């Protein structure tokens, strides 16, 4: 069934969405039907694209299609910075979750909440993970305190529009355990050359900051500002803004980062050698 889904994404998408909308008389879909609809939408959005490039203000991401055991679209990505500005946060925000893998994890244990959420003014189904360890890459933590994870899917399009993660954090200043919260949002979906992608990705993080973290972090901020003073005026402002943002994160424990897609290139190829496997370490056997 999934192989046919990937080979005929548009036709199966229509059939799956019709089933979701009509077979339960207007009721919410079951988790299984919701995930089937999400996969159908994903296959249709990706189409037959072999590679694509996402250009942001500071980062360019290259995606290359790779073989998949179930024939659903699967991609590897590489990130390249657009400038040489030193950044305290270099991980690309736009590294979207591999939806087939995510759906596989959700199938093993997730429940559909009765109350819907709202993302960008639109209703969204919330699948709460009963084993957050699947999201976090660790063992079953379903009985552990402080762990939670959920995925949000648009109630009309069935696209993934959000992820929520909460993990416990042991404070250096007290014996109590606090929590680290991360919320991902994907929106402004646009289509170009047969590929549909979100053109805006947002991550909001709430992280407890200990006195030690604050002291070390502010030291790094100071070093960044010193480096900024040695840079040409056309680059100094961006580095100082990065330092200011880092200081706000340290003082409040809350950070919000936004990645806006400026352009998308479809099937334009990727730089030679970008996806080549890394060389073996020195001394490794031939």
What is the residue whose two structure tokens read 């060389």? 279
> What CATH number has the domain spanning 2-266?
2.50.20
pTM confidence score: 0.73
Q: What is the tens place of the pLDDT at every residue in 3-23?
A: 333 334 444 444 444 445 544
pLDDT at 7 (0 to 100): 38
Q: Which of 17, 8, 282 is nearest to 156 (CA)?
A: 17
Asked whether the predicted pLDDT for residue 188 surpasses 90, the reply is: yes
Least confident of 99-103, 124-128, 164-168, 268-272: 164-168
Question: Helix, strand, coil shares of the chain as percentages rounded to 5?
Answer: 30, 30, 40
User: What percent of the chain is predicted at pLDDT more than 90?
Assistant: 27
Calpha distance 181→36 (Å, rounded): 28
Please give the Cα distance from 161 to 240 (Å, whole number).
32
Strand partners, 123: 118
Distance CA 152, CA 133 (A): 18
Distance CA 261, CA 54 (A): 7
CB 218 within 8 A of CB 240: no
How many angstroms separate the CA atoms of 100 and 84, rounded? 34
User: Considering Cα of 93, then 113, then 149, then 169, what sign does the dihedral take?
Assistant: positive
Question: pLDDT value at position 228?
Answer: 86
Read off the pLDDT of residues 114-164 as tens digits, 9 standing for 90 and up.
Answer: 999 998 899 999 999 877 666 655 555 555 556 788 999 999 999 999 998
């Amino acid at each position: 069934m999934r192989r046919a889904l990937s080979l005929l994404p548009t036709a199966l998408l229509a059939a799956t969405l019709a089933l979701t909308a009509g077979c339960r008389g207007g009721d919410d879909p079951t988790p299984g039907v919701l995930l089937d609809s999400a996969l159908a939408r994903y296959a249709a959005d990706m189409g037959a694209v072999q590679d694509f490039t996402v250009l942001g203000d500071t980062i360019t991401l290259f995606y290359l299609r790779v073989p998949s055991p179930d024939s659903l679209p699967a991609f590897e990505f590489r990130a390249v910075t657009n400038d040489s500005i030193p950044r305290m946060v270099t991980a690309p925000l736009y590294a979207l979750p591999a939806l087939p893998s995510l759906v596989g994890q959700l199938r093993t244990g997730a429940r559909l909440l009765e109350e819907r959420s709202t993302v960008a003014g639109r209703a969204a189904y919330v699948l709460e993970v009963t084993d957050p360890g699947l999201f976090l890459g660790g063992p079953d933590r379903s009985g552990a305190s402080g762990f939670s994870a959920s995925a949000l899917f648009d109630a009309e399009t069935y696209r993934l529009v959000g992820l929520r993660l909460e993990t416990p954090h042991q404070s250096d200043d007290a014996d109590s355990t606090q929590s680290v919260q991360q919320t991902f949002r994907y929106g402004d979906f646009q289509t170009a050359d047969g590929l549909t992608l979100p053109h805006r990705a947002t991550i909001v993080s709430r992280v407890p900051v200990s006195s030690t973290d604050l002291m070390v972090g502010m030291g790094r901020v100071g070093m960044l500002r010193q480096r900024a003073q040695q840079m040409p005026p056309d680059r100094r402002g961006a580095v100082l803004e990065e330092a200011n943002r880092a200081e706000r994160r340290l003082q409040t424990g809350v950070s919000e980062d936004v990645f806006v897609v400026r352009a998308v290139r479809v099937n334009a190829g990727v730089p030679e050698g970008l996806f080549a496997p890394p060389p073996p370490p020195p001394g490794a056997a031939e």
